[in-house]
């Protein structure tokens, strides 16, 4: 089951520029920073009240984020919805004919389990299903 917004993902070219900019504009705080090797991204999470904004920088030219920025420039990349059981959610979506990017969950930031749904199935929106880590 999906039960709320987990975060919004924003593609950025340069985290050293984007993090201070987002902190200045929102008054939020930097709560996490990590390189997620499996997804070829460096992530910085800004907390604004109950909202988390995930700033994403590609760490190599073949990173999906680097490709996104090359094609469209920086901007909103995905919306992440929270689930208590991400794999079950992906299985359910697959059964209903939704096109998935990940049929099997991957390890995301902060030891979460994540899977992406193809934007072609969601009217152009890249959706991520996130099961938060159990640290
Ligand atoms: Zn995300």
Give Cβ neighbours of residue 90 (< 8 Å, ≥ 6 apart).
Answer: 100, 102, 103, 104, 105, 115, 129
For 39-65, how does the pLDDT look when each residue is reduced to its tens digit (9 = 90+)?
A: 899 999 999 999 999 999 999 999 999
Q: How far is the CA of 41 from the centre of ligand 1 (A)?
A: 10
Among 114, 5, 110, residue whose Cα is nearest residue 51: 5
- Which helix (H) or strand (E) covers residue 83, if one does? strand 75-83
Provide the 8-state DSSP code for 61: T
- When divided into structural domains, the chain yields a total of 1
Q: How far apart are CA 46 and CA 78, in angstroms?
A: 15
Question: Which CATH number does the domain housing residue 82 bear?
Answer: 3.10.180.10
Enclosing domain of residue 9: 2-131
CA–centroid distance, residue 88 to ligand 1 (Å): 18
Q: pLDDT of 64-109, one tens digit each?
A: 999 999 999 999 999 999 999 999 999 999 999 999 999 999 988 8
């Amino acid at each position: 089951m999906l039960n709320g917004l987990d975060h919004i993902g924003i593609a950025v070219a340069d985290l050293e520029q984007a993090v201070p900019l987002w902190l200045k504009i929102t008054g939020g705080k930097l709560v996490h920073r990590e390189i997620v090797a499996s997804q070829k991204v460096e992530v910085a999470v800004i907390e604004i009240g109950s909202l988390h904004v995930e700033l994403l920088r590609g760490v190599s030219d073949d990173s999906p984020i680097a490709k996104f920025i090359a094609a469209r420039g920086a901007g909103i990349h995905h919306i992440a919805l929270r689930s208590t059981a991400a794999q079950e959610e992906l299985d359910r979506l697959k059964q209903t004919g939704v096109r998935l990017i990940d049929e099997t969950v991957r390890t995301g930031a902060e030891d979460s389990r994540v899977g992406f749904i193809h934007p072609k199935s969601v009217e152009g929106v890249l959706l991520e299903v996130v099961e938060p880590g159990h640290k």
